[in-house]
Amino acid sequence: MHQEIFDIYDEETNHIGTAPRAEVHAKGYWHQTFHCWLVRPEGDRRMVLFQQRQSTKDTFPDLYDITAAGHMTAGETIREAARELEEELGLAVSFDVLSLLFTTRYEARGIVSGKPFIDREICHVFGYSSDLPLTAYKLQQEEVAGLYEADLQQLTALFEGKVDSIEIRGVSAAGTAAAGLPVHTARILRKEHFVPHPDDYYMRVLDMLRKL
């Protein structure tokens, strides 16, 4: 089976070569990723969009995550990595309209298929304001189970621990009504339903999205 090849880096972010995805996660090499968070203006409010990961994903299946994200393959530039928006959401926009929020490092450990993995990412985090309704996106069903949104202030309160849960609304990638239209759903989410990125990552993202 074909494996993606990633550029790998040392602790000082010096490029030290390339390696297959499985080796990168087995040995904990630093590698680069692209993150993009979308917001939708709604009057005085801002709605933050995020995806639900497919149940077949090898890491964090069914959890809620960054609107669109992915690993950068060997030789790929951050400009080219913005392809994730079109691949996962069907959103074709110029890289130049995206706003760089910040660049950070992220480290996680876990078990995949019975084997330990170490995920060390150099994350390039972007934001984009889009007034499209959720039904306008074309979701990549292999990766994305659904696209949802929540009020930015309510989402902030959730990650600050001020509320235990929030209501989100969205559309499922697989569900369709009799007329062939996406099914709208509403759910109650708790903090643990989101991919366990560090709390300060979520708070920095939400703070920066207010300024878009």
Into how many domains does the chain fold? 1
Instruction: State the residue range of the domain holding 66.
Output: 5-209
pLDDT, mean of residues 82-92: 97
**Residue listed under structure tokens 């005085």:** 44
CATH code, domain with 158: 3.90.79.10
Give the tens place of pLDDT for each residue, 15-56.
Answer: 999 999 999 999 999 999 999 999 999 999 999 999 999 999
Give residue 68's pLDDT band: very low, low, confident or very high (50, 70, 90): very high
Residue 180: predicted pLDDT: 53
Note the pTM of the prediction, 2 decimals: 0.93
How many CB atoms sit inside 10 A of residue 190's CB? 11
Give the tens place of pLDDT for each residue, 117-173.
Answer: 999 999 999 999 999 999 999 999 899 999 999 999 999 999 999 999 999 999 987
Give residue 181's pLDDT band: very low, low, confident or very high (50, 70, 90): low
Q: Which residue has the higher pLDDT, 73 or 59?
A: 73
Residues contacting 173, CB < 8 A, separation 6+: 139, 140, 141, 144, 145, 146, 147
d(CA 141, CA 89): 10
> Over pLDDT 90: what percentage of the chain?
84
**Residue listed under structure tokens 């490092």:** 105
Residue 177: predicted pLDDT: 47
d(CA 34, CA 12): 19
DSSP string, 17-31: EEEEHHHHHHHT-EE
Quote the tokens at residue 85.
């928006």
**Residue listed under structure tokens 């697989």:** 174
**Phi, psi torsion values for 203, nearest 5 degrees:** -65, -40
pLDDT exceeds cutoff 70 at 175: no
SS3 89: helix
d(CA 192, CA 88): 23
**Phi, psi torsion values for 23, nearest 5 degrees:** -70, -40
Buried residues in 11-49 as b, exposed as e (16+ CB within 10 A): eeeeeeebbeeeebbeebbbbbbbbbbbbbeeeeebbbb
Report the Cα–Cα distance between both ends of the chain, in Å, rounded. 41
Give residue 182's pLDDT band: very low, low, confident or very high (50, 70, 90): low
